[in-house]
Amino acid sequence: MTKVLCIVGARPNFMKIAPIMRAFSRRAALRGVLVHTGQHYDANMSTAFFDDLGIPKPDINLGVGSGSHAAQTAAIMAAFEPVVLEQRPDLVLVVGDVNSTLACSVTAAKLLVPVAHVEAGLRSFDRTMPEEINRIVTDSVSDLLFTTSEDANRNLEREGIAPEKIHFVGNVMIDTLIQHVELAKRSDITRRLGLTGGYALVTLHRPSNVDEPQALQELLSAFAAIEQTIPIVFPIHPRTRKRIQEFGLDGRVAAMKQLKLVEPLGYLDFLHLMMGARVVLTDSGGIQEETTFLQVPCLTLRENTERPVTISHGTNRLVPLTAPAIAAAARQAMAETPNGAKRPPLWDGKAAERIADVLAQWGQRR
């Protein structure tokens, strides 16, 4: 039996690990041990997702909490090292690009434990993004690299990764979406929010958008224009709420009568809102993928994306970070009919099964 430590730390990781753990449970050759670093510790941002997605209770919780990038990464490494030494896994599996991904992959590599990276090869080519550094470093120390798109394969090959390490398996985020879409349809979140017609959906969390006063003011100006014609639902990240208060923008937010600020939502409620949105405005990578699969118009409030397949195959578009550009793009997106774009290859709900197959074969060859 191949023993795999499976690492989660933040909300995006939970949607990726859920189908992998299920695939492991169906294979006698694989034993998954779930380690939660505690990078996201708010109940609404962590526990609710475990409940919604049917993820088993973590076998190990490191409980590191928040901190600067350096402090948080160091805390995870210090807490994770003794776990690896005690558990003696055959493999450490990390997903995505958060600090937990970097910290646990480097720790495992230094202990000479093989590393598998799910969602490898994504590149924004913007090293001002902390996630880009996490992606590059994690891929460089990984022994098995599972990719979601063919452009990710090419990125890895350009960086000198041996082709035999790269496995194009599809997108585990879409596995989770497909499994839960019918349940999400039954959510009553629109009734609870008093929504009776069309609405826009917003998520913001990246430091480049919410930690810079000018950028955040520009975004709020865009929302003020959009909410004149359609309600906006904004599940607000704790840091974003804090920045609005720190920058003295509470009054501007309160003046937007059709801007509905709500606490972070569970997966099913959020998926329900995303399916019904006229347009989604986000700086999240995963939401670019989910809206592509659902064929919901998505405006990415960033200068670049590490997921170009969502533009070439999906409904996503990059929007300049100015209020007039964002408002105009939102109006255009809501006026258009779905373009019927084909979904990216292998985004079919079977990515986790492919990963499990590769790992079972890898374990036999050890």
pLDDT digits (tens, 9 = 90+) for 240-297: 999 999 999 999 999 999 999 999 899 999 999 999 999 999 999 999 999 999 999 9
| C-alpha to C-alpha distance for 263 and 47, rounded to whole angstroms | 14
Compute the half-sphere exposure of residue 337: CA atoms within 13 Å on the CB side of its CA. 1
Computed over every residue of the chain, the mean pLDDT equals: 94
State the pLDDT at residue 95: 98
Inform me whether the pLDDT recorded for 15 exceeds 70. Answer: yes
State the pLDDT at residue 298: 97
Q: 135-167: per-residue pLDDT in tens?
A: 999 999 999 999 999 999 999 999 999 999 999
Inform me whether the pLDDT recorded for 44 exceeds 60. Answer: no
- The CATH class that applies to domain 182-335 reads alpha beta
Query: Within 10 Å of residue 250's Cβ, how many Cβ atoms?
Result: 12
Q: 226-256: per-residue pLDDT in tens?
A: 999 999 999 998 889 999 999 999 999 999 9
State the pLDDT at residue 46: 60
Q: Looking at the chain, list the stretches that DSSP marks H as alpha helix, in order from N- to C-terminal side.
A: 11-25, 47-53, 69-87, 99-110, 130-141, 150-158, 172-185, 189-192, 207-210, 213-226, 238-246, 250-254, 267-276, 285-294, 309-312, 323-335, 351-365
State the pLDDT at residue 129: 93
Where are the domains positioned within the chain? 2-170+347-365, 182-335
What architecture does CATH give domain 2-170+347-365? 3-Layer(aba) Sandwich (3.40)
State the pLDDT at residue 121: 98
**In the structure, what pLDDT confidence band is assigned to residue 65 with cuts at 50, 70 and 90?**
confident
Which residues share a beta bridge with 203?
A: 282
Tell me whether domains 2-170+347-365 and 182-335 share a fold. yes
pTM of this prediction exceeds 0.85:
yes
Of the candidates 167, 205, 237, 313, the residue annotated as catalytic is 205
- 205 is known as an active-site residue: yes
